[in-house]
Structure 1
Amino acid sequence: MTAAILMEHNKPLMILNNIVTPKLKKGQALVKMNYAGLCHSQLMEISGLRGEDKYLPHLLGHEGVGVVVDVGEQVAKIKIGDEVILGWIKGFGLEGGATQYQTTDGLRVNAGSVTTFSDYTVVSENRVVKKPRHTPSELSVLYGCAIPTGLGMVLNTVPENFSGTVAFLGLGGIGLSALLSAKLRNFKKIIAIDVNSEKLALAKMLGATHCVNSKIENVIECVRMLTDGGVDYCFESAGLAKTIELGFNVVRRNGGKCIFASHPAHHEKISLDPFELICGKKIEGTWGGESVPDSDVKKFDKFYQKKLLPLEKLISKKYSLENINHAVDDLKNKEIVRALIKCAE
């Protein structure tokens, strides 16, 4: 088995090809990985910004697609030969727990209930769903994290008949996935906010009615000029405490709501003006877009079949597993939206 291992923080992932696949426990499956997605969460882990990491060295990755090659006891949702989507959001089925791998020279490597940066992986039954019919494997990777979290936080929190103003703050994989709701809902104004002009151009293509470059424009002033004092909803996914605060500041009083998917560095705290809360502004976080993978992935697939989800626009570039550190650098330097890692030849 070959895998990209986080040996220590702020160092390139180490590619090891002498890892022994452990015996499956109850509730686990062995999957031959085809593709994995790389997102901001892995950058945070690699940089040590998630707080104390007790499990080094360990595997990474939490969205991917592969084929089941073996199942442990009492696994009933999937069978050998099924093509499946792996994701971090818990679904139905058994929790198989953590896994410990070992190399042929005795190094122990830890892994959680789902990891994807390897050619084979052990995963809990509750972290997989069968790949739906219409979405290609390469694009189905996005159903493991980006789409359920991003699109989910819009579709699962905003009433279907809502037709007001919305803002999307941060146009990475999650933010652009959220923006895809533009084709699914009848929003009056859709404001995209980011520091990257190329991402703003992509947002315009995906349905944004207005774009604000926060690098050169005053976001709060721009949003207030475009709306009646602020948007009804702001969906924030830029990854920083200060952008969560900004998201709160651009929603209107008397009912405006900031919904954030960001998970900033462990030590960061947000600071809000209590008076704005008294004036009716609201804020809440979202856990995986409140998605239920076993049912929501089927809905996403139907949207794709109807040509309502241009998922291909979110995949910037493909990388081999051996070149995953190039993908990490490109994502860190904001040169890509989402990297697709080809896990096996």
Structure 2
Amino acid sequence: MKAAIFHGPHRPLTLGEVQVADPGPREVLVRTMAAGLCHSDLHFIDGTYALDAPAVLGHEVSGIVEKVGEGVIGLRPGDHVIGCLSVFCGHCGHCTSGRPYSCDHQHETRRGPQEPPRLSQAGAPVGQFYELSAFAELMLVHEHALVKIRSDMPFDRAALIGCAVTTGMGAVINTARVEVGATVAVIGCGGVGLSAVNGAAIAGAGRIIAVDISGAKLDLARDFGATDTVDASGCDPVEAVRDLTRGGVQYSFEALGLKRTSEQAFEMLAPSGIATIIGMVPEGQRLEIDPVSLLYDRRLQGSNMGSNRFRVDMPRYVDFYLSGRLHLDRMISRRLPLAAINEGFDDLRAGRVARSVITFDP
């Protein structure tokens, strides 16, 4: 199969032939139909997070089941599916207490060192990114990395649910549990941030303030449910949010993965407010907060893939889209072939797009 291969940080991905194994027990072979370009992939391409090479990146994905291995339950050839990097074992303490996104037995869903690799090239193993590797014509994954969805859901928009929507909307609904009438600020209006804005609107937040340095993205945020916008290129966003809300928001969400904007998310809170950091702050960096603010019951927390239970959440998000409540059509800035993947990441790096999607021929 053809795949975009990662050779190490600060190097372009290259297209090449990669061999994919046949499905083993509890494994599923999926024909990739669409894969989103996400900042999580870019972190590894740009070297802010480490990853052994060679590997096939990509994790925001939808496709069609081609084959299933022995023991697979609930999936069969022809099913439409979304992949999720929150692969779960199903029996550890986290899984059985409602937190499968924190599963600590994910090693059980991978092939062992004595088994042939799922992906290889010229006989040598190729790394599988987040147990998915979506930038390829086929994926071989554990059944617990997939959820079946309705066949009337478009593949390119279904792929966005695999990461951007689940991460952004889930942070609002599952992690922070924003309540009706709450005041919310979202920093960063890419795919994840726009999903957080949309999620806050669906949750019934009374005021939703979108913060970005791009006027085009702020305009887009209004279409997703923002009631107010702050152009951070021309002002102090913390002061602007405090002015708009007369003291700060009850909930803030950082969707860029930057040290300073993560600190700003905490600084713009009202007393008893909660700041949720969604973005991946580069390894080795530390956040600095005023400890006196903690005396006023302000809290800073993370969110792992929107605290998802993806086999429950994702079909619901599909229903939200098909009923007109989840606004995915305008989130896709570009549709690209696999051969243009480096161009797509250049656009993402420069902040020119909300989301680009690689589409594959059926």
Deviation string for 1:112-144 (max 9, x for gaps)?
A: 421100001111111110122443222111111
Higher helix share: 2
In the TM superposition, what is the alpha-carbon distance from 1:78 to its structure 2 partner? 1.0
1 CA distance for matches of 2:66 and 2:154? 20
1:274–1:6 CA distance, 2 compared to 1 (3 A): same
1 CA distance for matches of 2:20 and 2:200? 43
In the TM superposition, what is the alpha-carbon distance from 1:158 to its structure 2 partner? 4.6
| SS of equivalent to 1:301 | helix
How is 1:187-336 mapped onto 2 (pairs within 5 angstroms)?
A: 187-253=205-271, 255-336=272-353
| SS of equivalent to 2:158 | helix
In the TM superposition, what is the alpha-carbon distance from 1:106 to its structure 2 partner? 3.9
2 CA distance for matches of 1:161 and 1:266? 32
Moved more, 219-228 or 242-251: 219-228
1 CA distance for matches of 2:179 and 2:285? 36
Moved more, 22-31 or 193-202: 22-31
Determine the structure 1 residue equivalent to 2:57. 60
2 CA distance for matches of 1:118 and 1:110? 13
Match of 2:126 among 93, 105, 109: 109
Determine the structure 1 residue equivalent to 2:174. 156
Preserved CA contact (<8 Å) 2:6 2:53: yes
In the TM superposition, what is the alpha-carbon distance from 1:323 to its structure 2 partner? 1.1
How is 1:50-199 mapped onto 2 (pairs within 5 angstroms)?
A: 50-51=49-50, 53=51, 55-90=52-87, 96-97=109-110, 99-103=117-121, 105-112=122-129, 113-159=131-177, 161-199=179-217
1:163–1:181 CA distance, 2 compared to 1 (3 A): same
2 CA distance for matches of 1:184 and 1:106? 49
Determine the structure 1 residue equivalent to 2:99. none
| SS of equivalent to 1:262 | coil
TM-score with structure 2 length normalisation?
0.89
Preserved CA contact (<8 Å) 2:4 2:135: yes
Is there any run of 5+ residues in structure 1 with no aligned partner, and where?
none
| SS of equivalent to 1:278 | helix
1:5 aligned onto 2:24: no
| SS of equivalent to 1:256 | strand
Moved more, 28-37 or 88-97: 88-97
Preserved CA contact (<8 Å) 1:91 1:294: no
Deviation string for 1:160-193 (max 9, x for gaps)?
A: 7431211011111110011112441322211100
2 CA distance for matches of 1:143 and 1:222? 31
* Structure 1 vs Structure 2 CA RMSD: 1.8
1:256–1:206 CA distance, 2 compared to 1 (3 A): same
| SS of equivalent to 1:252 | strand
Preserved CA contact (<8 Å) 2:13 2:342: yes
TM-score with structure 1 length normalisation?
0.93
Deviation string for 1:196-239 (max 9, x for gaps)?
A: 11101111222211111111111111111111310000011111
Determine the structure 1 residue equivalent to 2:37. 38
2 CA distance for matches of 1:176 and 1:160? 16
